[in-house]
Amino acid sequence: MGAASDDDEVRQRVRDAILKAGGVPRTAAQTGIPAKTLENYLAKRSMPSLANAHRIAHAAGIKLEALVGEVGKRAATETTPQDAVNIFTEIFLVVDRVHREFGARLTPSAAVKEAQRHFSDLQARLMDPGDPEEARSLLPWVENRVRAQMTGAHAEPGSGKREAS
């Protein structure tokens, strides 16, 4: 499935989540996201930031992975489902925070794909994939990897962007 299609699916799930949370006024009150911003998401004119996607998912009473797509759901099959979801969410938030610190913004679907890659790498390093504490102990390693990648990208500006037309 292509990135545009992934983004369309995420936009639809965001729209559904806003409605599930009680519509724009109620979601705005619960999340602190301005009503105008939520209206843009509802109309599928824009994509929420990772932090806003997390807030909307929480307001709707759904898991972030359910909001952002199948990639996150696949990540939950390695350990116990709730532990995997929690660890995946923590990785997702690390990806979001580090990118923001570097002044970069990812679409939710791109962030989920990056979080999935880091989740898979973390799973490969575990001696016991069913041990959530061992997985949590590797979260600083994941953050260091994300920072190293961002530092490398920051050192070579334009290397991750599309070519000008």
Task: State the Cα–Cα distance between residues 62 and 74, nearest whole angstrom.
Answer: 16
* Residue 133 within a domain: yes
* Residue 135 within a domain: yes
Q: Classify burial at 165, counting beta carbons within 10 Å of its beta carbon; exposed 0-12, middle 13-18, buried 19 or more.
A: exposed
pTM score, whole prediction = 0.52
Query: Which residues does 82 contact at the CB level (< 8 Å), separation at least 6?
Result: none
* Residue 50 within a domain: no
Greater confidence (108 vs 130) lies with 108
Tally of structural domains, the chain:
1
- Domain hosting 75: range is 70-155
| Cα angle, residue 120 at apex, residues 114 and 122 outer, rounded to 5° | 105
The per-residue pLDDT for range 26-79, each reduced to its tens digit, is 999 998 999 999 999 888 888 887 778 888 988 988 887 778 765 444 433 344
Chain centroid offset of residue 108 CA:
5
* Residue 117 within a domain: yes
* Residue 81 within a domain: yes
* Residue 112 within a domain: yes
* Residue 12 within a domain: no
* Residue 48 within a domain: no
